[in-house]
Chain A
Amino acid sequence: MALSNVLQIPTSGFNFENVARNVALESLLEGGHTKTPKPMKTGTTIAGLVCKEGVVLGADTRATSGEVVADKMCAKIHYISPNIYCCGAGTAADTEKTTDLLSSNLTIFSMNSGRNPRVVMAVNILQDMLFRYQGQIGASLILGGVDCNGNHLYTVGPYGSIDNVPYLAMGSGDLAALGILEDRFKPNMEMEEAKELVRDAIHSGIMSDLGSGNNIDICVITKQGVDYIRAYQESEYKDKRQKRYRYGPGTTSILTEKIVPLDLEVVQETVQRMDTA
């Protein structure tokens, strides 16, 4: 149905038409018993550190929506490019979409130039994007990667601030994790020692913060490749809930078996030629 008040094709991108309506709706609902649904946040502990052979990133796996745990096995370490991975804290959808956009842009770049992207490029693209939206996109990210210039670890805040440091923690559990990292970090650590340190840092974040919990994921990036260990350590508070309700063959026991053969005789046979030329 063609509308006569549409004078131009609507511009793409963000649309602010409903903002006034939403503000009015929220003020109406706050007074009553209904509450507006809260976006899913990854109140999180994420940490990363640079070691001798590469970069180790770690994250917990809990996603909360208000006071409820929305996802117990959330993947917070996102793929950006074969040599760069990114941990995300903040609003879950924002981190997901922002890292997806970044990954797409870097893939186009590497197809155009034939090179693996550098970590500084990813950081600059993120910084431009997040500053443009003035912090309305709630994504705090830790980017780690190995490129031709060495091993790098950067953090990008939701308003577009960046920092380049050898060890980092972000999220609601960052203070606890940072305490462990500050205590035991040494430059040029061995790989196993670095993995243990990141695990301990995330563990202390999980113990001290309500927004972090469940399992610990570790991602190790080296010049040779990436090792993404999903559930490096499972939490001891896993419940024994059965996740599948489909019964495998052999669940019910067979008591008797009777086979009746069906005798069929050929009554009529017609051949239809198929033209395969």
Chain B
Amino acid sequence: MCAPVIPLSFAKNTRGLRSQLKDSVPVTGMGPQVGAYGVQDTLRSGFSSVKNELLPSHVLELSEKNFQLNQDKMNFSTLRNIQGLHAPLKLQMEYRAARQIQRLPFLQSSHLALDTLKGNDESISFEDILNDPAQSEMMGEPHIMVEYKLGMM
């Protein structure tokens, strides 16, 4: 297998693209991650299958998991290129502050401030219609959810 030959002019033009590509979200595994002691937590998450953990089963699974993050990174890097470093820094500071306004993990938080900042209050997409967390049929154990959030588990 021969290595692809990239003409010099093309290599010069991809500089801008490459700097945006390396900012994209890294791909992690699909299945439940390692629990305590670095091994799969079989008691809580069931038996593991290597194929399920490495490969996505649907074409869109990977791109949908990271869609919001990728969009944000793309928008911030464009904003940085247009207006300078201060613009994304200020916006991210506001997002961080708004993200902290929420209830404990097992309760429904409205995320009102975060939604207003991101502009989600003026649009409707599949995230608002399908799989509404307010109507989810499964309820989590409150103590375990708080421990997971604090990183104790």
Across the interface, do A133 and B130 meet the contact criterion of CB distance under 8 Å? no
Tell me whether B85 is interfacial, beta carbon within 8 Å: no
Query: Digit string of A195-207 for contact with B (CB within 8 Å is 1, else 0)?
Result: 0000000000000
Distance in angstroms between the alpha carbons of A49 and B140 in the assembled complex? 55
- Among B46, B52, B140, the residue within 8 A (CB) of A7 is B140
Across the interface, do B141 and A16 meet the contact criterion of CB distance under 8 Å? no
Chain B residue with Cβ nearest A15? B131
Tell me whether B138 is interfacial, beta carbon within 8 Å: yes
Tell me whether A129 is interfacial, beta carbon within 8 Å: yes
Task: Give the size of the chain A interface in residues (CB under 8 angstroms).
Answer: 30
CB distance from A274 to the nearest CB of B (A): 41
Distance in angstroms between the alpha carbons of A12 and B130 in the assembled complex? 6
Distance in angstroms between the alpha carbons of A132 and B144 in the assembled complex? 35
Tell me whether A2 is interfacial, beta carbon within 8 Å: yes
- Among A2, A16, A134, A136, the residue within 8 A (CB) of B139 is A2
Query: Digit string of A65-76 for contact with B (CB within 8 Å is 1, else 0)?
Result: 000000000000
Across the interface, do B105 and A19 meet the contact criterion of CB distance under 8 Å? no
Tell me whether B58 is interfacial, beta carbon within 8 Å: yes
Distance in angstroms between the alpha carbons of A8 and B44 in the assembled complex? 13
- Between B45, B130, B140, the greatest number of chain A beta carbons within 10 A of the residue's beta carbon is seen for B140
Contacting B at CB under 8 A, from A1-28, are 1-16, 19-20, 23
CB distance from B124 to the nearest CB of A (A): 5
Task: Give the size of the chain B interface in residues (CB under 8 angstroms).
Answer: 38
Tell me whether B116 is interfacial, beta carbon within 8 Å: no
CB distance from B77 to the nearest CB of A (A): 18
- Among A19, A104, A112, the residue within 8 A (CB) of B58 is A19
Distance in angstroms between the alpha carbons of A219 and B142 in the assembled complex? 55
B interface with A by C-beta (< 8 Å):
44-46, 52, 56-61, 63-64, 67, 105-106, 108, 122-133, 136, 138-142, 144-145, 148, 153
CB pairs A–B below 8 angstroms (16 shown): A2-B140, A2-B141, A3-B138, A6-B140, A7-B144, A7-B148, A9-B106, A10-B136, A11-B131, A13-B127, A15-B130, A16-B57, A104-B124, A108-B122, A108-B123, A108-B124
